[in-house]
Structure 1
Amino acid sequence: MAEAHQAVAFQFTVTPDGVDFRLSREALKHIYLSGINSWKKRLIRIKNGILRGVYPGSPTSWLVVAVATVGSSYCNVDISMGMVCHIQKYLPEGSGTYQTPQSRALISMAIFSTAAWMTGIFFFRQTLKWLLSYHGWMFEMHGRTSRFTKVWAICVRLLSSRRPMLYSFQTSLPKLPVPTVPATIQRYLASVHPLLGEEEYNRMEKLAKEFQENTAPRLQKYLILKSWWATNYVSDWWEEYIYLRGRSPLMVNSNYYAMDFVLIKNTEVQAARLGNVVHAMITYRRKLDREDIKPVMAMNLVPMCSYQMERMFNTTRIPGKDTDILQHLAESRHVAVYHKGRFFKVWIYEGSRLLQPRDLEMQFQRILDDPSPPQPGEEKLAALTAGGRTEWAQARQDFFSSGKNKASLDAIERAAFFVALDEESYSYDPEDEASLSFYGKALLHGNCYNRWFDKSFTLISFKNGQLGLNTEHAWADAPIMGHLWEFVLGTDSFHLGYTKTGHCVGDPSPRLPPPQRLQWSIPEQCQAVIESSYQVAKTLADDLELYCFQFLPFGKGLIKKCRTSPDAFVQIALQLAHFRDRGKFCLTYEASMTRLFREGRTETVRSCTSESTAFVQAMMKGSHKKSELQILFRKASEKHQNMYRLAMTGSGIDRHLFCLYVVSKYLGVDSPFLAEVLSEPWRLSTSQIAQFQIHMFDPNKYPNHLGAGGGFGPVADDGYGVSYMIAGEKTIFFHISSKFSSSETNAQRFGKHIRQALLDIADLFNCKIDS
């Protein structure tokens, strides 16, 4: 056994002459290298902290200021305007360092230079923060940029031109502003007006007015106070109350999935593909630790917040009876692996050296070849993470708080991430449309016990070499995982590569000890809890209908010819499709991001508007001319784009109302208006998937290197979850979820309506669709 070999790192024997120690040179070498690696990381963090802290300045700029100050004094020019002489007066006199006038002058100039440099940095950072608080650029039409915005853009570029590190802009990002109550109420009433009858709307308007006049002012004061004190007035409450306090299963209800490249295959050797991808992931983690990743920039100019990236690796959601917590470790040197009902611990370092892809392939192949059976209760153990959170918290306390169960659970929860080696094969076959849906379901829930849903993410490997992700949602939003996934897939395809036989490049190190099998002692009472959680999860999985398809007639290219936003185009098509599917409109959720602000996460765009419903109703009548429908469509598109921009710039509706609701609960204030708003069901929940956040390859040169995006479960029992990715110029991928138990929804039927709605809208603009 590997652990038995590791246990003999040193030995000692007692002899008449004393104690004789026999130290293993190999073990001491690894201890030494691990220590060196640890100190390197500490020094890198210290260096990065300094460089980040003085951005947009640099140590070199301090040297320039110091040289300029000293040089000017030799030219008899006092650029300090007497400050150097003033400082010199306060230096203590005496022997030694301060003995000569020249030494005292140099020290005074160094002090002045440092003070001037730090003042300049403070001024530049405050200026950059002020500049980044301007969002007018988002509301200007393409090609009609104002002179003010052009000057603003030049200033931003000048202040951020030096190569930034990942977190360089964090302290320069503005805080998320608290909207005024009247503005939020007005936007809210406008959003529900097309969904309510006249009597219902009048009742809601009355509730809103009463809330605005009587209850809201007191709540708003507390919220403004929090916005002054906290970095972000929304994010911590959003994480706690929307995610961590949720007691329902994470599987389907919260976690989401992401797919692999679907039109190409680099290799069909399961262990080899995993070796390359795990190596790429740890390489990304190393870049993350060193902050050697460029921040995502909107319009290649405005930085977005990067704080969510901090918990990407070494993070686990720990269950609690009332609320969960996110456990994040500074370092983890192994991954946890599940295969055929067994759990393994695989080291990803040898001393301070990151294992190469061929080494990792060998380790994963050893697991695949391991014939040992699961221990009693081990096979379905991960079902605990798929069931109710309270039940899992109680079982964790009762059965995993000591002994080898605790040690093995720690190995999983302290891993960099979780790896699932599946025995089944899934992939997308363009000739078999259903294959994409089967692939999605396998990623979203698997067999309910072969994913560790608590880990920040589970890397899923199928027998045919195809991959995917299942991601826990509390720690970050989907674009963050998308950034990692793009890096990994690009590195795998264009930098690491494979041999002709499909194996990783290079030769493995045969001295590596095999993966460590985790040991469990699971009593029958615990096995009963595991089975109960499994049944809960299986019921949830069996009830999920998932329909995924590739829309081939057109993509972003043709939509641009219609002179409209691709996202608005798809969102309006979803409204038309939903009306055809259900015969009515519904409250629609579209996720938008607020990462233009510090620690920003998401905001809701209420996509069902008076303008979009007017267009849909006109389309349904069938009596309007194309020109009239075009006008209605453009009004709906412009309204949607404006709402999206408002959400991104801190003027959304739902996060403000959510925080007011939280304050009301803290104060013990009942608000019928807020209670009703927060209980409204989102029967259509939608999200566009971010892509090409980093430029790992040219998509025009490699058009088949397309991921299909990912998806999530429906938010409402009688609703739809729709995720879509406008994958380049010629195609769109859709992921539609619903529940079989609802007689009102059918994911496949809705998908057909989406196809037809897209075609019908394109036909309005006489856009030629390639056959």
Structure 2
Amino acid sequence: MAEAHQAVGFQFTVRPDGVDLKLSQDVIKNIYLSGVTAWKKKAIQFKNGVLAGVYPASPFSWLIVVIAMMSSLYTHVDPSLGMMDAIKENLPYRSCVSVQTRAVLSAILFATGLWLFLIYLLRYTLKALLSYHGWIFESHGKMTTSTKMWLVCVRLSMFSGRRPLLYSFQASLPRLPVPSVDDTIQRYLESVRPLLDTKQYNHMEILANEFKDSKAAQLQRYLVLKSWWATNYVSDWWEEYIYLRGRAPIMVNSNFYIMDLLYVTPTHRQAARAGNVVHAMLQYRRKLERGEHAPVLRALGTVPMCSTQMERMFNTTRIPGIETDIVQHLTDRKHLVVYHKGRFFQVWLYTGGRHLLPSELEMQFQRILNDTSEPQQGELKLAALTAGSRVPWARTRIKYFSQGVNKVSLDAIESAAFFLALDDEPQGFDPAKTNSLDGYAKSLLHGKCYDRWFDKSFTLISYPNGKMGVNAEHSWADAPIVGHMWEYVLATDCFHLGYTEEGHCKGDVNKGLPHPSRLQWQIPKECQQIIETSYLSAKRIADDVDFHGCLFTEFGKGLIKKCRTSPDAFIQLALQLAQFRDQSVFCLTYESSMTRMFRDGRTETVRSCTAEAVAFVRAMEDAGATTAQRLALFRKASEKHQNMYRLAMTGSGIDRHLFCLYIVSKYLGVDSPFLKKVLSEPWKLSTSQTPQQQLNLVDINKFPKYVGAGGGFGPVADDGYGVSYIIVGENLITFHISSKFSCPDTDSYRFGQHIRKAMIDIQALFKPENDKKTAEHVKIVPVENGKKHI
């Protein structure tokens, strides 16, 4: 085999007259280039680490301070007020060092101390400034004088004339504050008031007051202590108890997906598209490892977001355990594992100290697609272990994958940069098919239940028609983090790398690259039975997912803004209206909000079903209510929602505080009926907005077809809906709706129709003359014979 000969770096033959040693110059050259690249990478990482560590100052500023102090020795002006003299007199080995040398050393030491002091002063000044959140509660388009002054001070503190790096502002981010128990309980009772009758509410109020008067103070003290000690009092417990300690399957229940470009497919060659996308991901990873990405700035283009979650994007795997999983993050791994038709292949991503070129990656992936070998015994559905319950997978991993070839192959998967699945069935949006997004979403979310490695930080999925997508594990990061990477990859793929006229990757092909190697497995019958059990369990979950992708093209963010309201509030109120029309009742609603303005921040819950939203929905369903009355109630509900969202973003949310109080109570063995009740309440409507244009790499006004379709997740409650939406540009909103077929009361397609009609009905409030025409434009498609629309 050609690749076997290339793998040999040297050959030697023992002869009677000595040893004949032959070295392979190509291999030695590759070893040399790899070493140079590795040291260059370490040097760049060290340099960027220093630059981020001293930001907003620069290493050059240290030299300026040193020169200034040295100059004072000759001007006989002591800016240190005698401190340099004190340092000079207390230097060790005075008898061995001249007076002049000691003076120079004392000036350097004082200058270094002064420089560090100024850095920390700037850093804590910026942290104090970023702790101010009054700006977020001001009306859109209006800015008070105090906020303008604050904005000027922040910009002066942040930007020192050089480009900040990804982690430059990490040390300046404030800690997430712990809300007062009284405020949290008051907001909680306010949030459940519209969902409970008088008797239920009075009971909940009694439980809340008993908790506040008896146990809350003790639990709060421990939580405040943790907030002083830890960088974030929520995030570590959130990761452990919400994600890693869950023993149920993570497929559908936890993992989420992100789709490809909606209207554009750059090439229909599967291997070529995968080659460009993988190469773009390697470029992103290199910049990420070096910290060279620009920091994510939100809110007036000034307030930095925490970037901690991005550190574990690549070479990360969720490792199953009996009681709890762990997140394993490795560094500097240079291979990829590819799944195709039941076989696992290992592909090296580097040669001669550089990334493989897109054309070289295309060749490697095409070799896998052309491979006609059969799966080994038990290999076809092996990945179903990651789709089933966690405990059987943990036990199977210990028993059958802890030694021999199975361990070597599993290590290759778990240490890979990420996992690539080359699917054999085309997917993607097709305007001619009403359910094309439905099948695309289900393929990304669960596939065949054995063709994605659900434990990897993310699985890249490639389809034979050139479409792509991502399935992401949730414990290590939230959707905006994966979305940031995905935006970079799509923009790089389409506008920087490109394709030839035939649809191939650009560049020459190095046909001397060794072929991808098959991972080897020895899976006994007992293990194959466990794999089959996990597969059947996962398949029942996948078959129960009722998905509908809904493109709303009647209007978008542009028209909503002309109505002088928040697009997110507009959509959330439309979801409340759709929910009531679908179920005839209101329910506890989860909307995800980020808390990344704080160090190590992740998410908070916005309880979108407010008393104001309920009043608005009832007015919309009241034939006797006038348009003016409905519009007034809409504005009131919209303002309430925006205020709730702002409170959640600024650390004054409800649910993370109560969650942490509950964790402390379990540690202390304190029983709290109130906390038990709160933590057991079901979220029958779970919603999330997918961020877009985080990087602004593509001008969607100039290239309106180059827009993403967003992503989604599985249903949270057995009898509820999961809704993810993305506001794409000015004229498109995409909804991803999930529920369960096993629930007779839910139907994702029907709910999508309710959302469409609710959006149009609300927009009609701003144009009363078009009310009747617009409201009749959309009709709900009936469900025939009591069966769900599929």
Tell me the TM-score range normalised by the shorter chain.
over 0.9
Structure 2 residue aligned with 1:112: 110
Would you say the 8 A contact 1:426–1:462 is kept in 2? yes
Would you say the 8 A contact 2:3–2:513 is kept in 1? no
- Aligned pairs for 1:374-385 (under 5 A) are 374-385=375-386
Q: Distance in 2 between matches of 1:107 and 1:223?
A: 46
Distance 1:28 1:765, change over 3 A: same
Structure 1 residue aligned with 2:551: 550
Structure 2 residue aligned with 1:152: 150
Specify the SS of the correspondent of 2:644: helix
Asked if 1:8 corresponds to 2:4, the answer is: no
Q: Letter of the aligned partner of 1:693 in structure 2?
A: Q
Q: Distance in 1 between matches of 2:331 and 2:171?
A: 22
Structure 1 residue aligned with 2:140: 142
Structure 1 residue aligned with 2:36: 36
Q: Distance in 2 between matches of 1:37 and 1:273?
A: 27
Q: Distance in 1 between matches of 2:92 and 2:621?
A: 87
Q: Distance in 2 between matches of 1:165 and 1:22?
A: 47
Asked if 1:346 corresponds to 2:351, the answer is: no
Would you say the 8 A contact 2:48–2:292 is kept in 1? no
Structure 1 residue aligned with 2:642: 641
Identity %: 64
Structure 2 residue aligned with 1:626: 627
- Aligned pairs for 1:230-245 (under 5 A) are 230-245=230-245
Structure 2 residue aligned with 1:125: 123
- String of CA shifts for 1:545-603, please: whole Å, max 9, x gaps: 00001101000001001110000000000000000000000000000001010000000
Would you say the 8 A contact 1:718–1:742 is kept in 2? yes
Specify the SS of the correspondent of 1:513: coil
Q: Distance in 2 between matches of 1:92 and 1:412?
A: 55
Structure 2 residue aligned with 1:166: 166
Q: Distance in 1 between matches of 2:129 and 2:566?
A: 26
1:6 is displaced (CA, Å) by: 5.7
Would you say the 8 A contact 2:245–2:323 is kept in 1? yes
Structure 1 residue aligned with 2:373: 372
Structure 1 residue aligned with 2:200: 200
Asked if 1:685 corresponds to 2:686, the answer is: yes
Would you say the 8 A contact 1:2–1:514 is kept in 2? no
- Aligned pairs for 1:656-695 (under 5 A) are 656-695=657-696
Q: Letter of the aligned partner of 1:260 in structure 2?
A: D
Q: Distance in 2 between matches of 1:45 and 1:23?
A: 33
> Does 14-23 or 29-38 show the bigger shift?
14-23
> Does 44-53 or 439-448 show the bigger shift?
44-53
Specify the SS of the correspondent of 1:424: coil
Would you say the 8 A contact 1:2–1:515 is kept in 2? no
- Aligned pairs for 1:48-127 (under 5 A) are 48-91=48-91, 98-99=97-98, 101-127=99-125
- Aligned pairs for 1:11-22 (under 5 A) are 11-22=11-22
Asked if 1:294 corresponds to 2:294, the answer is: yes
Would you say the 8 A contact 2:284–2:485 is kept in 1? yes
Q: Letter of the aligned partner of 2:265 in structure 1?
A: K
Q: Distance in 2 between matches of 1:2 and 1:707?
A: 42
1:118 is displaced (CA, Å) by: 1.0
> Does 40-49 or 673-682 show the bigger shift?
40-49
Would you say the 8 A contact 1:308–1:480 is kept in 2? yes
Q: Distance in 2 between matches of 1:731 and 1:464?
A: 24
Count, aligned residues: 769
Asked if 1:567 corresponds to 2:549, the answer is: no
Structure 2 residue aligned with 1:488: 489
Specify the SS of the correspondent of 2:724: strand
Q: Distance in 2 between matches of 1:666 and 1:4?
A: 57
Would you say the 8 A contact 1:3–1:516 is kept in 2? no
- Aligned pairs for 1:231-630 (under 5 A) are 231-299=231-299, 300-630=301-631
Q: Distance in 2 between matches of 1:362 and 1:524?
A: 36
Q: Letter of the aligned partner of 1:143 in structure 2?
A: G
Would you say the 8 A contact 2:596–2:602 is kept in 1? yes
1:19 is displaced (CA, Å) by: 4.4
Distance 1:92 1:541, change over 3 A: closer
Structure 2 residue aligned with 1:765: 766
- String of CA shifts for 1:288-346, please: whole Å, max 9, x gaps: 01100111111210101000000000000111111111110011101100001110001
Q: Distance in 1 between matches of 2:441 and 2:159?
A: 42
1:7 is displaced (CA, Å) by: 5.2
> Does 346-355 or 108-117 show the bigger shift?
108-117
Would you say the 8 A contact 1:275–1:358 is kept in 2? yes
Q: Distance in 2 between matches of 1:612 and 1:355?
A: 54
Structure 2 residue aligned with 1:735: 736
Asked if 1:45 corresponds to 2:33, the answer is: no
Q: Letter of the aligned partner of 2:105 in structure 1?
A: I
Q: Letter of the aligned partner of 1:486 in structure 2?
A: E
Q: Letter of the aligned partner of 2:250 in structure 1?
A: L
Q: Distance in 2 between matches of 1:61 and 1:279?
A: 37
Q: Distance in 1 between matches of 2:49 and 2:437?
A: 45
Q: Letter of the aligned partner of 1:355 in structure 2?
A: L
Q: Distance in 1 between matches of 2:259 and 2:586?
A: 31
Would you say the 8 A contact 1:231–1:599 is kept in 2? yes
Q: Distance in 1 between matches of 2:2 and 2:558?
A: 56
Q: Distance in 2 between matches of 1:2 and 1:297?
A: 50
Q: Distance in 1 between matches of 2:212 and 2:401?
A: 50
1:104 is displaced (CA, Å) by: 3.3
Specify the SS of the correspondent of 1:547: strand
Would you say the 8 A contact 1:496–1:505 is kept in 2? yes
Q: TM-score, normalised by structure 2?
A: 0.95
Specify the SS of the correspondent of 1:604: strand
Q: Distance in 2 between matches of 1:73 and 1:140?
A: 52
Asked if 1:180 corresponds to 2:214, the answer is: no
Would you say the 8 A contact 2:613–2:637 is kept in 1? yes
Q: Distance in 1 between matches of 2:460 and 2:557?
A: 30
Distance 1:22 1:355, change over 3 A: same
> Does 704-713 or 393-402 show the bigger shift?
393-402
1:51 is displaced (CA, Å) by: 1.6
Q: Letter of the aligned partner of 2:715 in structure 1?
A: P
Structure 2 residue aligned with 1:696: 697
Q: Distance in 1 between matches of 2:565 and 2:141?
A: 14
1:77 is displaced (CA, Å) by: 3.6
Specify the SS of the correspondent of 1:711: strand
Specify the SS of the correspondent of 1:681: coil
1:4 is displaced (CA, Å) by: 3.7
Q: Distance in 2 between matches of 1:176 and 1:570?
A: 28
Q: Letter of the aligned partner of 1:453 in structure 2?
A: F
Q: Distance in 2 between matches of 1:530 and 1:91?
A: 69
Specify the SS of the correspondent of 1:337: strand
Specify the SS of the correspondent of 1:491: helix
1:710 is displaced (CA, Å) by: 0.6
Q: Cα RMSD between the aligned structures?
A: 1.6
1:3 is displaced (CA, Å) by: 6.9
- String of CA shifts for 1:261-291, please: whole Å, max 9, x gaps: 0111211011111110000000000000110
Q: Letter of the aligned partner of 2:180 in structure 1?
A: T
- String of CA shifts for 1:121-159, please: whole Å, max 9, x gaps: 111111011111111110011232111111111111011
Unaligned runs of 5+ in 2: 778-790
Would you say the 8 A contact 2:3–2:515 is kept in 1? no
- String of CA shifts for 1:634-669, please: whole Å, max 9, x gaps: 110011000101001100000011111111111111
Specify the SS of the correspondent of 2:215: helix
Q: TM-score, normalised by structure 1?
A: 0.98
Would you say the 8 A contact 1:2–1:516 is kept in 2? no
1:746 is displaced (CA, Å) by: 0.5
1:351 is displaced (CA, Å) by: 2.9
Q: Distance in 1 between matches of 2:2 and 2:365?
A: 15
Q: Letter of the aligned partner of 1:762 in structure 2?
A: Q
